[in-house]
Structure 1
Amino acid sequence: MTPPIDVIARSLVRERARTGLSLAEIARRAGVAKSTLSQLEAGNGNPSLETLWSLCVALGIPFARLFEPQAAQTQVIRRGEGTKVVAEQANYQAILLATCPPGARRDIYLLMAEPGADRVSHPHPPGSVEHIIITQGRALVGLTEAPEELHQGDYICYPADREHVFRALEPATQALLVAEQN
């Protein structure tokens, strides 16, 4: 069984990412020290009811959501969509596609594929997640029962502990794959 602080930590990270707000801003809104929130997101500490309640108010979520482990699900972000952060002094912007849960391992791969046979992957260990960004071409990607057609610049995230597929739809299709295991 997962310790409660681990579930709380993942929930805090997930919900803060959902809001698009910084750790410092959530801490300020909740009236807690930034270091306290950082420790809680790392799965350390023994937070009081008051601290957790304040964080829920700052995040705009019901208290019970902190104790609900979220099942991995497919997420697609099309090129140019998502929460953007823009630099003031440079022509530079960043779009957060995914956060890494505390204690997770991430491996990064460059995929190069040609149309033809599908790459069907059997389920990986429980809790595995894959993130893919198409960098060139088009592909059908995701869970075998519900793959998504992705174009250059599109992002998908799906639970890799279920059967999944990658099918190149154009010659010289390339993608960046980030494989994550807890």
Structure 2
Amino acid sequence: MSPADGRALDLPALGNRLRELRGERGLSLSALAATAGIGKGSLSEIEAGQRNPTLATLYALAAPLAVPLATLLAGEPGTEVSADGLTATLLSTETAADGTVVEIYRLAFRPGADRRSPAHGPGVREHVLVTVGRLEVHHRDGTAVLVAGESLSFSSADAHRYRALDGKGCSAVLVITSTR
């Protein structure tokens, strides 16, 4: 299967990774749930492989665990997660010699999609290149409207937002670099 084909998130593998990461950090189920702002029961179901988390939930869990989203996705190209009118498909992940993690995603926004993303932690930057349509990006330093062929880089250490414009869908490539 190529990354373009897309594949569902492997829920049991995700649950195992979460449990391992939580254990390595000495966090109880309650502590991680509280820090991530999700219910303890929901986290328990995710760890048991019984619940399919949204993109927002995965980001909420990645931040307190201090790992890139791709770690929760097991770095498997083609893995898709969706939320708020957005489907993100992991295309590639690698770790540079200096420890910087580089994640590359294809983003597909449905018409009117409005994706609010939580802070990803210190040392995390997003680099977005619009390939189709118009995309409004709100970040700590301001707001930009990008059209096909335009790009923007910003710190995603704070909450940020992507919004497809003109009542149409939008596509982009997102590169996330993490130096934590």
> What TM-score do you get using the length of structure 2 for normalisation?
0.43
| Higher Rg | 1
Q: Structure 1 length as normaliser, TM-score?
A: 0.42
- The structure with more strand, counted as a fraction of residues: 2
